[in-house]
Structure 1
Amino acid sequence: DIPPGGLSDDSHPLVHRFLAGHRFELTGAQRRALSAIFTDLASPRPMHRLLQGDVGSGKTVVALTAMLAVVDGGHQAALMAPTEVLAEQHVASLRADLEGLTIADPRVLGGVRPVNVQLLAGKLKAPERRRAIEAIGRGDVDIVVGTHALITDDVKFRSLGLVVIDEQHRFGVEQRSALRDKGRESSGALRDPDLLVMTATPIPRTAALVLFGDLDSTILDELPSGRRPITTAWAKSADDEAVAWAKVRSEVAAGHRAFVVCPLVEGSEKIEAASAVAERDRLASHELSGLNVGLLHGQMKDVEKEMTMERFRRGDLDVLVATTVIEVGVDIPEATVMIIEDAWRFGIAQLHQLRGRVGRSSLESFCYLFGEPSTPDGTTRLEALVASHDGFYLAEVDLELRGEGTLLGARQRGRSDLKLASLARDGELLMLARDVANQLVESSVNLADFPELVEELRLFIDEEEAAFLFKS
């Protein structure tokens, strides 16, 4: 029941079997997104689509369905994740979702085989990595999930049809471009693969036009049925904090789990890790005494992170004290309460992402923000989080507070490099400028006919910035 322009009854049987056997109903927003994506996939022009969805809106199911459509057509799909923890979680989730799903392959006995999902990450030992790369090159692997390891020179695809980039803001343009190049190499016609860029960090509409003006945008603005809004409170006093710790104990007693996010320490991951270790020890002997309290931070080895997450998932750990390594992608449906210490030190987008690690089921969930802000902006951030669960509204507040950042270069910083415009102030003008630019391109005019425009562009955009824009 994808709308017209998407799936027909006789196309993509693998997709139909997957959707028919899936355990939950697609939302209207997911159906609209899939309709647009399937129309793109059927077009001779490579897809360039940005899929924005708030925390928990079901982007992964949309991406998996798109990947299966490409696999159904005899090609491969690659999913690039920003961290190994997230890549491994994607692999586990994809394999569970695809269990029992088979695909025709005349090269194997019986003519059918399971849909194969392969992890490609730095943690693989040399023999495992070599076998994985050989299988990818032969086309035995349908969906490859990895980190930067996907773009190393020795990785060759038989036929890469779709590239999915998860959490795009964590990748530089260079990495996205390198993965697209691999797809072009694997297609005899030197055609770019289709590209689907996903983000759970909502981007203000005006910023999206500047940063991703070449991408068609789709927004998932509905949550799957059964999800409840997360109750968010700012604990401003010792009494408020005592209420929060009591809530952690009551949720654990009910068989649920809790996160405690340690304060952000600028400049040093080692100092941040040491701070997390000390905080875990303090909590285990005071506020959380008697509970099984685990620890997760960026300085731990990957195998330690995996073991800790698995223990938390199984319920061997009641509470996980963590740094921002849990910000993206961690999915524990039983986690129902989060405490964020010194919350004012975090940005709005980070706070919203962290909060999204709870409330991932039909269970009522809670988030407590600790700390007294030292700046008016810090107060505004916490008040916004308490007032709203709408990631797109919060992104607009964030834009007002922080400015646009650097839009035209490979580096990223807070200060804007827009010389005249303000995204917050000039939204309507930006929309008009984009429409005029589209008309110029679609009418195939020669820019040499507009010498004043060319001169203006040369004044504002140097060669390095122009190269970056074309690459992105």
Structure 2
Amino acid sequence: MLDLNKDIQYVKGIGPKRAEKLNKLNIFTLKDLLYYFPRQFEDRNNLKKIIQLENEEKATIKVVIVGVSTSSPRKGLSITKVDVRDETGYAKLVFFNQQYVKNAFKPGDTILVFGKVKKEFKKIEISSCEVEYLTNSPKNTCKIMPIYPLTYGVSNKDIIGIIKNVLSDESLVIKEYMPKHIIDKYKLCSIDYAIRNLHNPISKESLKIALYRIVFEEFLILQLGLFLFKNGVEESDGIKFEENKKLDDVLTSLPFKLTKAQNRALNEIIEDMQCNKAMNRLVQGDVGSGKTVVALLSLAHCVFNGFQGALMAPTEILAEQHYISLTETLKPFGINIELLVGSLTKKQKESVLEKTKNKEVDILIGTHALIEDKVEFNNLGLVITDEQHRFGVRQRSKLSEKGENPDILVMTATPIPRTLALILYGDLDISIIDELPPGRQPIETIAIDKSKRDRAYNSLVRKEVEKGRQVYIVCPLVEESEAIEAKAAVDLVEELKLEYFSDLKVGLLHGKMKPSEKDLIMKSFKNREIDILVSTTVIEVGVNVPNATLMIIENAERFGLAQLHQLRGRVGRGSHKSYCILIYASKSEVCKQRMSIMEETNDGFKISEKDLEIRGPGEFFGTRQHGLPELKVANIFKHMKILKLAQQEARYIVSEDRKLQNYENQLIKKEIMNKFEHSIKEISLN
């Protein structure tokens, strides 16, 4: 029997050189190879007549060779054309720089051809051809063809050949690990049938059956792993915080009343904190819904109970803003707050670290600096991470390890569809703040193409500045490089000063600036010393200037919908009517669709659903950055019905057998451990 954990280079027909190429595809063992699933399938099964061919389609035809001709229209280019016919008409097969093919074709022979059709009037050409002679078992035509994700040096034919070789080995046995009652309940095929038919589908029906099994399995294993991780956390004794009247005094001191949604979230948090199990909760709220004040009150509750709190933010600008906000509110209550960010001097850092260790600091706010080894707390009781998707499971865990089972609260302003949230945060309970504070007016969003850019600057911007308001202009997203984005922002400032706003005060904010410079710019903007602030996406989270009423986003089509919504949330924070202008250059249908979604709604949850639908879950929220096993076949949006079934089943299994200790669950438990072992080291299944 073949060992599925066998090193790929020792599998028959592979060897060290091929193994090296396969390793680049993360194929290291025979099991990795079997689970290296196709990314799509080409149906080459449907034989067509020449007369039935449609322009731009890919199709299979059975034809007779009429003749072959070769031409060289220019140096370095040769074109070979093969005239073919069937009983309904004529076509030409086109080959570029493949002169050798002219000797492979003999007039009068019958061949099968799969390729891309170009049809102009009655003239038909087929390019990117796969050609083979008629046999009882064609290799590349008249079948459903798997198309694999590839890297340099490995072709689709290579993978097909290697896998075919493995699957034809009679000593290969792919053992079942799914409990029999689940297979029967959901009418799943065996894992052996699923893997064989994903790589070499017998028919459309067999492929459908195989896909259903793998999709269900991927969701079930992911969800079970997360539930087990959550149960492991829940079982550990946490801190039992006591009710404290001082929290009411903080609430009374606030210059506003909490919304119903904020009160609901706060009550859920306090209830968790006053229970003797460790809290593990996600607070999800749209831009401007007031999550920060809920975090502030939770931290105050922790400190009033004699413990320390930590708040981790993804950027220095956001950490600094939290520091200012919490200090203003909590200092009168004798709560000491410190800031720990990368830009502090060595001496400042050492001072903060010493005070934290000696419990002279009640709440420590910072960036990734908080998870460094040298940061020691005296008795950490509550850990909060803001904009959770910027971190990962490991980072969240590393911070919580600085205390003895502290309560964990994670916050995000990126509205996530609830089902997706259950996948990404399956180890967390969820609180949703779905209400904006009173007095907030909806932001009017207008999408315009680049030809109307002048009018936006000359009319709209000036109108707002004349009213005494301020404006954000967001620099286009160039690429994932702060240096390039910074240069683009500097160039945009120069252009705006020169062509439009020579008489106005234009400021600049980008990620490559020193924190002290950023702070100075934001203070100047808040104090109305700057009329127009040109910025990169560093203002995406956390910047609060109620007098800013207009945002212009250049090249809006380069941003995701969720990010556009985040950026737009920087205006509309005061009582004045606010606007967001999206300037786009693309003429594509997808761009128009996305712009109209932004114009139609201010609801972040609706936007996130659309973003997920348009961009797909991988791009919307890659599971890799969360430290979760990758979904190879399952698609959270496309397979929503199967996802719900798998979630329902996972809940039932865990309710019956919390740690999968029953005999029938042993094999799937092993599979879960294998899938999660490289991802979530903290998972506790034993």
TM over 0.5: yes
Q: Quote the offset at 1:44 in angstroms.
A: 1.0
Query: Cα deviation per residue 1:345-368 (whole Å; 9 max; x = unaligned)?
Result: 111111000000101111110000
Shift of 1:458: 6.9
**Alignment match, 1:261:** 474
Measured against aligned partners, the alpha-carbon deviations of 1:208-263 in whole angstroms (never above 9, x if no partner) come to 11110110011100000000100100123634651454222122222211100011
Q: Is the Cα–Cα contact under 8 Å of residues 382 and 406 in structure 2 kept in the other structure?
A: yes
- The aligned residue for residue 75 of structure 1 is 307
Matched, 1:463 2:660: no
Secondary structure in structure 1 of the residue aligned to 2:678: helix
Correspondence list, 1:223-234, <5 A: 223-234=436-447
User: Using a 3 Å threshold, how does the CA distance of structure 1 residues 224 and 348 change in structure 2: closer, same or farther?
Assistant: same
Say if 2:541 is the partner of 1:309: no
2:549 equivalent to 1:329: no
Structure 1 distance, partners of 2:337, 2:257, is: 24
SS in 2 for 1:294: strand
Residue pair 2:283, 2:430 contacting (<8 A) in 1 also: yes
2:627 and 2:554 map into 1 onto residues whose CA distance is: 26
Give TM-score, length-normalised by structure 1: 0.88
Partner Cα distance (2:350, 2:384) in 1:
23
**What is the DSSP-based 3-state SS (H/G/I as helix, E as strand, rest coil) of the residue aligned with 2:575?**
coil
Residue number in structure 1 paired with 2:593: 380
User: CA 1:371–1:357 in 2, change beyond 3 Å: closer, same or farther?
Assistant: same
Question: 123-132 or 154-163, which moves further after superposition?
Answer: 123-132
**Aligned match of 1:446:** 661
Deviation at 1:451, TM superposition (A): 4.8
Give the SS at the match of 1:362: coil
Matched, 1:157 2:372: no
Q: Aligned with 2:617: secondary structure?
A: coil
Cα distance, 1:83 vs structure 2:
0.8
Partner of 1:144: 364
- The answer to whether the 8 A contact 1:280-1:295 is kept is yes
Whole-angstrom distance in 2 between the partners of 1:27 and 1:412? 34
SS at match of 2:403: helix
Q: Output the CA distance in 2 between the equivalents of 1:440 and 1:469.
A: 17
- How far the C-alpha of 1:440 sits from its partner, in A, is 2.5
> Aligned partner of 1:383: which letter?
S
Q: Which residue of 1 aligns with 2:397?
A: 177
Match in the other structure for 2:406: 193
Question: Unaligned regions of 5+ residues in structure 1, if any?
Answer: 1-9, 102-113, 185-191
Give the SS at the match of 1:242. Answer: helix
Corresponding residue for residue 98 of structure 1: 330
- SS of equivalent to 2:461: helix
Code of the aligned partner of 1:53: G
> Does the Cα contact within 8 Å between 2:510 and 2:536 map onto a contact in 1?
yes
Q: Give the whole-Å Cα distance in 1 for the aligned partners of 2:588 and 2:631.
A: 26
Structure 1 position 41 matched with structure 2 position 261: no
Which contiguous aligned blocks of 4+ residues in structure 1 show a shift greater than 6 angstroms?
468-471
- The answer to whether the Cα contact below 8 Å between 2:553 and 2:583 also exists between their aligned partners in 1 is yes
Q: State whether structure 2 residue 339 is matched by structure 1 residue 115.
A: no
The amino acid of 2:668's aligned partner reads: L
Which amino acid in 1 is paired with 2:638?
R
**Structure 2 CA distance for partners of 1:245 and 1:356, relative to 1, 3 Å:** farther
Structure 2 CA distance for partners of 1:202 and 1:127, relative to 1, 3 Å: same
Measured against aligned partners, the alpha-carbon deviations of 1:407-434 in whole angstroms (never above 9, x if no partner) come to: 5534799xx9423432223334333422
Q: Quick one: which amino acid aligns to residue 335 of structure 2?
A: V
Cα–Cα, structure 1 residues 450 and 407, in superposed 2: closer, same or farther, change >3 Å?
A: farther
State the AA in 1 paired with 2:434. D
Q: Match for 1:132 among 352, 360, 363?
A: 352
SS of alignment partner, residue 183 of structure 1: coil
User: Against the structure 1 CA distance between its residues 290 and 408, is the aligned structure 2 distance closer, same or farther, given a 3 Å change threshold?
Assistant: closer
Matched, 1:339 2:571: no
Q: How does 1:410-429 map to 2 (within 5 A)?
A: 410=625, 417-429=630-642
Change (3 A) 1:469 1:297: farther
Q: For residue 456 of structure 1, report the CA deviation from its aligned partner.
A: 5.9
- In structure 2, how many angstroms separate the alpha carbons of the residues matched to 1:351 and 1:241? 21
* Cα distance between partner residues in 2 of 1:235 and 1:261: 15
How far residue 397 of structure 1 moved from its aligned partner, in angstroms, is: 0.6
Q: Which runs of 5+ in 2 are unaligned?
A: 1-241
Q: Contact 1:71/1:142 (CA < 8 Å) preserved in 2?
A: yes
Show CA shifts across 1:433-452 (max 9, x none). 22332333233351542256
Counterpart CA distance in 2 for 1:299 and 1:276 is 11
Whether the aligned pair in 2 keeps the contact of 1:447 and 1:454 (CA below 8 Å) is: no
Cα distance in 2 for partners of 1:343, 1:334 equals: 23
Deviation at 1:171, TM superposition (A): 1.0
Provide the rounded CA distance (Å) in 2 between the counterparts of 1:181 and 1:247: 51
Larger radius of gyration: 2
Does residue 57 in structure 1 map to residue 289 in structure 2?
Answer: yes
CA distance in structure 2 between the partners assigned to 1:209 and 1:270 by the alignment: 36
**How much has 1:377 moved relative to structure 2?**
2.3
Q: TM-score, normalised by structure 2?
A: 0.61
More moved, 298-307 vs 371-380: 371-380
| Deviation of 1:95 (Å) | 1.3
2:661 maps to amino acid: N
Q: Match of 1:166?
A: 386
CA contact (8 A) 2:279 2:409 kept: yes
